[in-house]
Homo-oligomer: A and B are copies of this chain.
Amino acid sequence: MQLTLHTDYALRVLIYLAMHPNQRVTITELSTFFNISRNHLVKVVHNLGLKGFIQSVRGKNGGLYLSRSADQIRVGEVVRQMEANFHIVECFNPQKQGVCPIQGKCKLTSLLCRAKEQFLKELDGTLLSEVLLNK
């Protein structure tokens, strides 16, 4: 069980932007700092923009910045929005309905649902501004 690198990278981008407020940060700067494929970061950044977490300015002297300040962004919200396949098991996937013969009768489903909620609840309790770097 793991989050995708896409979500992981999204969190890193937000942390970096939060630590450089009142600045326009370029994708190239992020890519160099984190040593991540620039092309991949472009997708992550684009997605963060679509989900409303960041704003971008095109053209010369352009770059990225947080839409809201870091103390207005809950970590759980980022993970919920960025993680595409949040289906803990097969029967949670809308495209796999009816595959498992005990679906609907099996009580694992509601348990796993509660477990997932506990996971997210913990993340909802923390703000982006609280996970910035020590020292």
Contact = CB atoms under 8 A, between A and B. Distances in A.
A50 interface: no
A115 B11 CA distance: 15
A89 B27 CA distance: 21
Interface residues of A, number: 45
Copy number in the complex reads 2
A130 B1 CA distance: 23
Interface in A92-120: 99-102, 105-108, 111-112, 114-116, 118-120
Nearest to A123: B115
Given A85-B1, A88-B2, A114 B122 contact: yes
11 contacts: A1-B86, A8-B90, A15-B106, A34-B100, A105-B133, A105-B135, A106-B131, A106-B132, A118-B121, A118-B122, A119-B119
